[in-house]
Amino acid sequence: MLNVQGTGEAGGVEHPLATLAGVQKIIAAIPADDAVRAAQDGVQWLESLHGIVYFPMSHRYDVIDRIDMAVKRHGEHLLEQYLALKPQAKFQEGLLWRAAMGYWKALGSAYMECVAQVMADKRAVESFRETFPQLVARAVRAQVLQIKWILMRYGYVNDIYWTAAAKLYGYAEAGAFLDDAVEIYPGEHGRSSVRRELLRAMMLGVSSTGGLSPAKQHIAERAIAHFSTSFVSSTQAATGCNFFFDLHGGMSPARVLAEAPRGARLFYFGAGEALDAAQSAVDAVNETGKLPPEMHLNADGNVDHAADTLLHLAFNWEKELPARDSVRRKVATTLQIVQGFEGVLALGSKTTQETWVVENASTEGYGIIVPERRGEWLQVGVLIGFLPEDENAQWGAGVVRRVETDARGQRRVGVQVLSRAVVPGTMCTWHSNGVRGAPHNVVLLGAVPSRSGYLQALLRPESFTLRDGLEATRLSDGRSFVVMPSGLVESGPDFDRVRFKVS
């Protein structure tokens, strides 16, 4: 943090950002090929502006704008690197997340302080009238990006973010530019309005992103940005406005079934025509294998991920959520947990185990509280092995389907059970002439085939093609089955779940 004073003060030192030449020098020094360092430099210089009141408003905003534009592409690189990580890469995950979140937080604070400085000075409001809508819209978008990065780590979005959003709405409403088209940033997708940007934040907040992997959360945020012109809002309860928000701040957006706080100034909103548009996009994928050409969701070509995400959004944007398939019962027990394919394969031997607390259970899975400093590798789609505390319990396998953090910092996890008694085994290619390939370790999700003659197994990704004839062997007793892959059920970070037909 810099310790500088303003030009002209006794013994003062000119702030490095006080002149255009100084700003250009600092921007030129931001590394071109190190996104983490670039973000850290951006944080340093943005924070150095805190409390500096002697800069002319136009210069202050120009400085923030230049830093913003210089670090913008580095922010995109941080996101790309983050989404490419495996869950096990804890150190790198923390490094990238702190760099990105730290930068967006510093940028948001700089814009918010800029807004406050304008609002505190009537002369500044008048002289800054043309630029003020852009400033407010940028402050809102910085809030959206902070919320996005918090959710990608399955964190709790503190009320301070929603309070900031409420304040910015109030400024735009008072200035009568809430719905004005604003060029927030240069480029094709840089034009929006303050209302649209606020709806992006709110729709992201009610979309249950704790049920999506980080990659799908990014797709969800891009889809919300794409659909933002279709969202609806009103200060009165209205058709299609399935959610509400308190414009006094202090609470997160919620479904209208929730109880509103006393004295709240309610803002109702919902998906509007985006609900049908999301379903239509899924239908297009099912029919053509492609997204509609106007949709650019940054899904890296994975249309299945895009379709899954759009279905998730449409499901959560409906007026009411359907009842659960199975009844949950409250329990008080623990599970021993191992991570990933290798942990499940080893059945707890030679792997690090954690103890998680089960708070409810059903025939399909568990609702779990993860103790503090446990499960740092957690994200949706991760495979786990679990051992109940019962005396005769066996190791089972499940997939994490939901991760959320509450206001007290407790992480709650939803786990779908794939099998309550897994069986280690091997598989190798098998030919009718008796020739066999090299064996691969697998996890059988049942000791015997189902009544219809099928068997599911967990394999390392791309161990075999779906055209290979295989021989599966149970390691417990050496019994073998000739099997043929009938379909890939799902893929995770370190496993494929495949369905086989037993000959």
pLDDT over 50 at 45, yes or no? yes
Distances (CA, A) of 41 to 5, 31, 123, 202, 425: 20, 9, 33, 30, 51
What percentage of the chain has pLDDT greater than the value 70?
96
- What is the Cα–Cα distance from 385 to 399, expressed in whole angstroms? 9
Residue type, 122: K
Residue owning tokens 């951006």: 42
| Residues 214, 268 share a domain | yes
pLDDT over 60 at 5, yes or no? no
Residue 3, CA atoms < 13 Å, CB-side half-sphere: 1
CA 365 to chain centroid, in Å, comes to: 23
Q: How confident is the model at residue 333 (pLDDT cuts 50, 70, 90)?
A: very high
pLDDT over 80 at 348, yes or no? no
In a domain, 358, yes or no: yes
Are the C-beta atoms of residues 26 and 16 closer than 8 Å to each other?
Answer: yes
Query: Which of 322, 345, 380 is at the close of a domain?
Result: 322
- Residue 170's pLDDT is 94
Q: Is 402 helix (H, G, I), strand (E, B) or coil?
A: strand
| Residues 4, 121 share a domain | yes
| Residues 311, 189 share a domain | yes
| Residues 243, 195 share a domain | yes
pLDDT over 90 at 71, yes or no? yes
- Residue 293's pLDDT is 85
> What is the C-alpha R_g of the chain?
26
In a domain, 23, yes or no: yes
Instruction: Write the pLDDT tens digit of every residue in 448-498.
Output: 888 899 999 999 998 888 888 899 999 989 999 899 999 999 999 899 999
Query: Which of 96, 113, 129 is at the close of a domain?
Result: 129
Structure tokens at 335: 């599970």
- Residue 3's pLDDT is 36
- Residue 9's pLDDT is 41
Mean pLDDT of the region 324-347: 87
Query: Which of 298, 322, 346 is at the close of a domain?
Result: 322
- What is the Cα–Cα distance from 85 to 493, expressed in whole angstroms? 9
Distances (CA, A) of 55 to 7, 33, 260: 10, 31, 42
Distances (CA, A) of 172 to 132, 137, 167, 393, 399: 9, 9, 9, 60, 44
Structure tokens at 70: 């210089």
| Residues 389, 295 share a domain | no
Residue 319: how many other CB atoms lie within 10 Å: 15
- What is the Cα–Cα distance from 121 to 193, expressed in whole angstroms? 24
Residue 457: how many other CB atoms lie within 10 Å: 26
Q: Which of 223, 78, 92 is nearest to 149 (CA)?
A: 78
In a domain, 136, yes or no: no
Mean pLDDT of the region 312-325: 84
Residue type, 406: D
Instruction: Write the pLDDT tens digit of every residue in 210-226.
Output: 999 999 999 999 999 99
| Residues 410, 374 share a domain | yes
- Residue 56's pLDDT is 86
Q: Which residues, at least 6 apart from 450, have a Cβ–Cβ distance to it below 8 Å?
A: none
Mean pLDDT of the region 89-112: 94
Q: Is 142 helix (H, G, I), strand (E, B) or coil?
A: helix
Rounded to the nearest 5°, which phi and psi values hold at 237? -55, 130
Q: Is 144 helix (H, G, I), strand (E, B) or coil?
A: helix
In a domain, 148, yes or no: no
In a domain, 144, yes or no: no
| Residues 338, 315 share a domain | no
Q: Where residue 382 sits, what CATH number does that domain have?
A: 2.40.10.220
- Residue 362's pLDDT is 92
| Residues 336, 287 share a domain | no
Structure tokens at 232: 């609806």
In a domain, 151, yes or no: no
pLDDT over 60 at 12, yes or no? no
Please count the structural domains in the chain: 4
Residue 59: how many other CB atoms lie within 10 Å: 15
Instruction: Write the pLDDT tens digit of every residue in 28-38.
Output: 999 999 999 99
Q: Is 125 helix (H, G, I), strand (E, B) or coil?
A: helix
Q: How confident is the model at residue 232 (pLDDT cuts 50, 70, 90)?
A: very high
| Residues 458, 372 share a domain | no
Rounded to the nearest 5°, which phi and psi values hold at 498? -120, 140
Q: Is 434 helix (H, G, I), strand (E, B) or coil?
A: coil
Q: How confident is the model at residue 323 (pLDDT cuts 50, 70, 90)?
A: low
In a domain, 118, yes or no: yes
| Residues 367, 310 share a domain | no
Cα angle 156, 222, 93 (rounded to 5 degrees) comes to 50
Mean pLDDT of the region 427-442: 88
Domain interval for residue 247 = 180-322
- Residue 405's pLDDT is 92
- Residue 325's pLDDT is 66
| Residues 300, 255 share a domain | yes
| Residues 302, 204 share a domain | yes
Q: Where residue 481 sits, what CATH number does that domain have?
A: 2.40.10
In a domain, 27, yes or no: yes
pLDDT over 80 at 436, yes or no? yes
- Residue 430's pLDDT is 86
Residue 53: how many other CB atoms lie within 10 Å: 10
pLDDT over 70 at 2, yes or no? no
Q: Which of 149, 311, 144 is nearest to 214 (CA)?
A: 149
Are the C-beta atoms of residues 347 and 380 closer than 8 Å to each other?
Answer: no
